[in-house]
Structure 1
Amino acid sequence: MSKTILVTGAGRGLGRTLAERLSARGDAVIAHARSESALDGVPHDRKLVLDLVDPAAIADAVAAAGIDSLDAVIHNAGVLHVGSVAEETLEWWQRTLTVNVVAAAELTRVLLPALRAAKGHVLFVNSGAGLSSAPRLSSYSASKHALKAIADSLRAEEQANGVRVTSFYPSHFDSDMQRGLRDQYGSAYDVARATSPESIAKTIVDVLDMPADMVVNELRVEPPNPLPIRPQK
């Protein structure tokens, strides 16, 4: 049976891979991106064009999309900036927490009636940084720790409504964000030692396809031999 699934950040990277994989198997994908042009070539049934830096616009955008029943939302969109606590700017703190935390919480809140109607699934694409932080990752890690807290609270609150909640913690998978992270660290990158976005997408879809009588609350994955993040000499 086909599902209706909303994927945030569907314009590129993992989000685009998820949209392609879900559409190919017959699911109705609601693809989110910041602009119409970002969704060029992305297979989707409906679109949600919205810049997550403005969470106040979420409710109207969802209403315009006419989402009455939703089998799953995959919170994939996010931003990352490398900087120590001493040098991180107020602008980046606000942007990171707004996009990665406030917008995810508000979008979930607005979608809850549709998720409850379908006994749906909320999957947060978190990060290893959401479990333990590292130097120069304060704002990003703080946002991902907060995302875990949202997922934990939501899970307890919505169990009686049949809504399942998963925190997914991928590490070192091939993405623009991972490449950008290593560029900012001045660290080497080896795609052969990273998990592919196709493998990550397959795992997410498998989690969404779990039998109705079980749920994966948390899942952490990483490549067998990840390349450490170290500045090049």
Structure 2
Amino acid sequence: MPTALVTGASRGLGAAIARALSPTHDLLLGGRPSAELDALAADLDGASTWPVELTDHEEMEAATEPISELDVLVHNAGVGAIAPVEDTYADEYRAMMEVNFIAVAELTRQLLPALRAARGHVVIINSGAGRDAKPGWSAYAASKFAARAFADSLRAEEPDLRVTTVYPGRIDTDMQRDIVAMEGDDYDGSRFLRVESVAAAVVAAVTASADAHPTEIVLKPTGRG
């Protein structure tokens, strides 16, 4: 079977993407070492943990070196927080950029030979904030706009690869709960996208026929649960 590496796979959307890809792919489950990551690997046939700190580029290089061929790379790991510009300091911008953009760019760079060998597919889970920056979202949106620009450049530079950016609206995840708490609102997950719905969009992109290049997918919640 083809091989897929999914970052941020221990829970939430990453775990849902891994589960959705597991019938058709051998999986490398990226994430910090955890019981959740181990349990997911045990639950999915053909899955192995890939416990790498994505902000440690030397550790990442050592982990990518044995990968000679990779069919699918799904960049799902990310962090999020909101605050007005006057309360958002340089360290917050750096932290957001490091995970949401720089780790994406560096992991892709290190895996380019393996992706080229497989004529592979890079999927970047972006956000609605990567298309439209709202008040209070300057740091997060900046990191996602950067990831969008990276995907566009990669797509133009590597014509033998498929590069898909997925722009989901708000998703029912633990991170979303934290953001809603920052906004001071009550949480109602039925207003948001289900992780399974976003995972299905990733599978649709990855399994698109060879003559088709799904460059962008935009998903918005209907609020109908």
Does the 8 Å contact 1:53/1:95 carry over to 2? no
Identify unmatched segments of 5+ residues in structure 2.
Answer: none
- Tell me, what secondary structure is at the counterpart of 1:46? strand
Residue of structure 2 equivalent to 1:47: 49
Are the equivalent residues in 1 in contact too, given 2:123–2:166 (CA < 8 A)? yes
Identity in percent: 41
Counterpart of 2:119?
119
Question: Who is 1:163 aligned against?
Answer: 161
Question: Residue 217 of structure 1 corresponds to which residue in structure 2?
Answer: 215
1:1-233 map, 5 Å: 2-23=1-22, 25-43=23-41, 45-63=47-65, 66-159=66-159, 162-225=160-223
Q: CA deviation at 1:226?
A: 7.9
Alignment deviations for residues 131-167 of structure 1 (CA, whole Å, 9 cap, x no partner): 01111111100000000000000000001xx100011
Q: Distance in 2 between matches of 1:53 and 1:219?
A: 27
What is the letter of the counterpart of residue 193 of structure 2?
T
- Show structure 1 runs of 5+ residues with no match: 228-233
Counterpart code for 2:3? T
How far apart, in 2, do the equivalents of 1:55 and 1:147 lie? 18
2:85 alignment partner, SS class: coil
Report the alpha carbon displacement of residue 46 of structure 1 after superposing the two structures with TM.
2.6
Residue 187 of structure 1 deviates from its aligned partner by 1.8
Determine the C-alpha separation between the residues in 1 that align with 2:219 and 2:105: 24
Question: Does structure 2 conserve the Cα–Cα contact (< 8 Å) formed by 1:8 and 1:74?
Answer: yes
**Is the CA contact (8 Å cut-off) linking 2:38 and 2:49 kept in structure 1?**
no
How far 1:193 sits from its partner (Å)? 2.0
Instruction: Give the partner amino acid of 1:73.
Output: L
Q: Is the 8 A contact 1:33 1:48 kept in 2?
A: yes
| CA–CA separation in structure 2 for the residues paired with 1:226 and 1:187 | 19
- Paired residues, number: 221
The one-letter code matched in structure 1 to 2:174 is D
d(CA) in 2 for partners of 1:95, 1:20? 29
Q: Return closer, same or farther for 1:77/1:226 CA change in 2, 3 Å cut-off.
A: farther
Q: Which residue of 2 aligns with 1:230?
A: none
Residues 64-105 of structure 1, C-alpha deviation per residue, up to 9 Å, x if partnerless? Answer: xx2111111000000011112111132221111111111110
> Quick one: structure 1 residues 166 and 57, their matched pair in 2 at CA, closer, same or farther if it must change by over 3 Å?
same
State the TM-score, normalized to the length of structure 1. 0.90
1:147-202 Cα offsets, whole Å, 9 max, x none, are 0000000000001xx10001100002211121111111112332222221111111
Higher alpha-carbon deviation: 106-115 or 169-178 = 169-178
TM-score normalized by the length of structure 2 = 0.93
Query: How far apart in 1 are the matches of 2:53 and 2:94?
Result: 14
Alpha-carbon shift at residue 38 of structure 1 (Å): 4.3
The separation in 1 between residues aligned to 2:221 and 2:85, in whole angstroms, is 29
> Alignment partner of 2:86: what SS?
coil
Q: Could you say what secondary structure the match of 1:95 adopts?
A: helix
Determine helix, strand or coil for the equivalent of 1:41. Answer: helix
